[in-house]
Amino acid sequence: MSSTDENAPPIAAPRRRLSRADRQRQLLDVAWRLVREEGSEALTLARLADQAGVTKPIVYDHFITRSGLLAALYQDFDARQTALMDAALDASEPTLQSRSRVIAEAFVECVLLQGREIPGVSAALSSSPELESIKRQYERLFLDKCRAVLEPFAGSRGLSQASLRAMLGAAEALSDAAANGEISADEAKQELFISIVAMVNRAAGIASN
C-alpha cells in the first residue's frame, strides 16, 4: 500500500436511514420541544422540518397538515397517559381508594412529564371543529376507562356522565396548576383523589365524612 493510501482520510460511514416509526418519534420529540420553548403558535410543518434537520416533504408525508401534527401530538400524550395508568391499575388493590389514587396520580404525573406543552396543544385542538372532535374522542376513551374502573364501587345507579365530566375538568385544572407551579404535584394528586372518591361515594349513596 502506498503512503498516499495510508494518509488518505477515512471514508465516512453512510448515515443510517431511520425507519418510518423512528422518524415519526424523532419528529414528535422535536415538536414537543418546539411547543415547550416557543408555544403551540410557533408549531408549523416548515418550522418542524427546519428544527428536525429534514426536508419539508418528509414532515408533510408524516402529518400532511398542521392539524394532523397537533392530532398526532395529542395521540402521543394519550398513549403515554394510558400506558402509565394501565400499569399502575394492574399493580393496584381492587379497592375504591387504591383505584382512585391510581387515576389521580397517573393523570397528574403524565401532565407533569409533558411539562407545560400539553395545555397549549389541547388549546390548539379546540381551534377547529375537526380537531375538537379528535380531542373529545380521546376524552371519551379516558372517561370510559374511568367508568369501568370505578363503577363497581358506585352502587346500582352507577356513575353519570355529568359526574365523570366534572372529574375530568377537575383533573385538567389541578394538573395545569401543578405544571404552572401554582400548587404542588402532591396537592394536585390529593385533591383529585378526594374528588374522585367523593364522586363515587355520592353515586353509591354514601355520605362523606
Q: For every residue of 121-180, which 3-state class applies, written as one string? A: HHHHHCCCHHHHHHHHHHHHHHHHHHHHHHHHHCCCCCCCHHHHHHHHHHHHHHHHHHHC
Cα–Cα distance, 89 to 1 (Å, whole number): 66
pTM of the model: 0.75
Residue 149 contacts by C-beta under 8 Å, 6 or more apart in sequence? 89, 99, 103
Residues in the chain with pLDDT values less than 70: 1-16, 115-116, 119, 207-209
pLDDT by residue (tens digit) across 188-202? 999 999 999 999 999
State the pLDDT at residue 168: 95
State the pLDDT at residue 67: 87
Domains of the chain listed by start with CATH number? 18-64 (1.10.10.60), 67-204 (1.10.357.10)
Residue pair 28/73 in contact by the 8 Å Cβ criterion: yes
Cα–Cα distance, 62 to 28 (Å, whole number): 10
Task: For CA atoms 185, 188, 191, 195, give the dihedral sign.
Answer: negative
